[in-house]
């Protein structure tokens, strides 16, 4: 099964889950985006690593990285392997003196480690097909990740009740959310369209 490389594009405040964030992963050289809901502590851990900030004492993910390095083990890559009932599953692919070891991980922890090791992030096409959002009609350099971590959604006044909207309105709302780069809400709309057999 061919792996597709992803990059961290943005971290958006979740509209529907106020304590959480939507981490947006972008397909390298492609238009698809994969929103992954993560907790606030994991979002902070990822943001700190991306910004290159170093605290006076190691945080949990820093401690794990330091432990692996002390044991002469390198994180080669992480793979988002599955999506079941709205939950992503991931694996760490470790290299210890040429021996490849795979370890199950929460996706948020895997991503926090990937940002620290600066290792590739992968998933499979079927996951992007089922859970990804396609950006269309934009003149964009897909190979260039965003340099800013976005926090959006604070000014959204309420959340649309998607079950009350017809398919035409849902598609219009989806286009609006994509233009606003509100990927977490766009993912909700996509799920509603798929539930109805739409596209």
Domains belonging to the chain, first-starting first, are 3-157 (3.10.690.10)
Average pLDDT over residues 48-70: 86
Work out the angle at residue 39's Cα, subtended by the Cα atoms of residues 59 and 117, and round it to the nearest 5 degrees.
45
- Predicted confidence at residue 144, as pLDDT, reads 43
pLDDT at 146 over 50: no
- Predicted confidence at residue 83, as pLDDT, reads 92
H or E element: which one contains 106? Answer: strand 99-106
Least confident of 33-37, 73-77, 104-108: 33-37
pLDDT at 76 over 60: yes
Residue 183 near residue 21, CB atoms below 8 Å = no
Residue 85 near residue 9, CB atoms below 8 Å = no
Sign of torsion over alpha carbons 62, 63, 69, 70: positive
- Quickly state the pLDDT bin for 109 (edges 50, 70, 90): very high
2 or 164, which is more confident? 2
Kindly state the percentage of the chain with pLDDT values over 90: 40
Average pLDDT over residues 63-76: 95
Report which of 3, 58, 76, 50 is spatially closest to residue 145, judged by C-alpha positions.
50
- Predicted confidence at residue 49, as pLDDT, reads 87
């Amino acid at each position: 099964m061919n792996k597709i490389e992803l990059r961290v594009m943005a971290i958006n405040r979740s509209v529907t889950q106020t304590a959480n964030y939507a981490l947006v992963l972008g397909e390298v050289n492609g238009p698809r985006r994969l929103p992954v809901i993560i907790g606030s502590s994991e979002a902070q851990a990822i943001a700190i690593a991306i910004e290159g900030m170093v605290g006076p004492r190691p945080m949990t993910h820093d401690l794990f990285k330091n432990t692996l390095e002390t044991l002469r083990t390198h994180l080669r890559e992480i793979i988002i392997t599955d999506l079941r009932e709205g939950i992503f599953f991931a694996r760490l692919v470790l290299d210890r003196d040429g021996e490849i070891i795979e370890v199950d991980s929460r996706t948020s922890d895997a991503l926090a480690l990937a940002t620290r090791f600066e290792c590739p992030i992968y998933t499979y096409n079927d996951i992007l097909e089922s859970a990804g959002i396609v950006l269309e009609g934009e003149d964009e350099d897909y190979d260039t990740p965003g340099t800013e971590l976005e926090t959006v959604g604070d000014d959204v006044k309420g959340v649309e009740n998607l079950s009350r909207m017809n398919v035409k309105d849902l598609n219009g709302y989806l286009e609006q959310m994509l233009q606003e780069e509100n990927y977490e809400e766009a993912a909700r709309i996509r799920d509603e369209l798929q539930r109805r057999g739409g596209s």
